Amino acid sequence: MTYLMSFLFAGTVCLLAQLIYEFTKLTQGHIVTLFVIIGASLSFFNIYDKIIEIFHSGATSLIMNYGHMLYQSAKIGAKTNDYFQIFIEIMKSTSGLVSYAIILALIISFIKRPRP
């Protein structure tokens, strides 16, 4: 059942992104950034948590989840009533994924030359 819910949610969001790509002049970079901002905004209004509960991996595989994770860790910092904690905490939960992606990209570029 969770598989079906993941499939439907991610498929629908990708369909929406494809519609935006076909009918406007926005490039891929614009659309991805837009969805990260949407993810962070939905997280601010406590909607994204509920989306993850219902749709599981459909919501966590997308780049919108990146915005959600950034906001959640910044919120942990804001809750302590010390403003600097926002800056200290903000990248804590996304550091795993981004570090792994960077390391893997570097290792691959050391091994392989670009091919068309």
Partner 1 sequence: MGINIKLDNCYIYSCGVVATKEEALHLSDYLDIVHDSLFADGKYYVDGEKQMLIEAISFALTKAQLSKDDLDFILGGDLSNQITTSTEIATLFETSYLGLFSACATSVEAINIASIILEGKKAKNILVYTSSNYGVSERQFRYPTTYGIQKKQTCTTTVNGAVAIILSSKKTKIKVSAVTFGRAIDSLSLNVNDMGSLMAIAAFDTLKKHLKASETNCKDYDLILTGDLSKVGISVLKQMLKEEGEDVDNISDAGELIYKDNEKKLAGGSGPACLPLVAFSLIINKMESSEYKKVLLIATGSLHSKVSVAQQHNIPVIAHLLELIKEEEK
Partner 2 sequence: MTYTKYQEIVKKETPKKKLAQHLLFAFISGGLIATLGELFYNFALNILHFPLEESSFFAGICLVSLASILTMLTFHNDLAQLCGAGMFLPTTGFANSLTSASMEGRSEGLIQGIGASIFSLAGSVICYGILISWYFATIYYLLNLWGINIWA
**Judged by CB under 8 A, which of 26, 31, 88, 92 binds partner 2?**
31
Burial 86-115 (b: 16+ CB within 10 A, else e): beebbeebbeeeeeeeeeeeeeeeeeeeee
Binding to partner 1 by residue 46, rule CB under 8 A?
no
Among partner 1, partner 2, none, partner that 54 touches (CB below 5 to 8 angstroms by kind)? none
User: Under a CB-based contact definition with an 8 Å cutoff, are residues 45 and 61 in contact?
Assistant: no
CB of 32 to partner 1, least distance (A): 11
Q: Binding of partner 1 at residue 23 (CB under 8 A)?
A: no
Tell me: does residue 95 bind partner 2 (CB under 8 A). Answer: no
Q: Among residues 72, 7, 12, which one has the least CA distance to residue 42?
A: 72
Of 1, 23, 28, 83, the residue at the interface with partner 1 (CB under 8 A) is 28
Does position 81 interact with partner 1 (CB under 8 A)? The reply is no
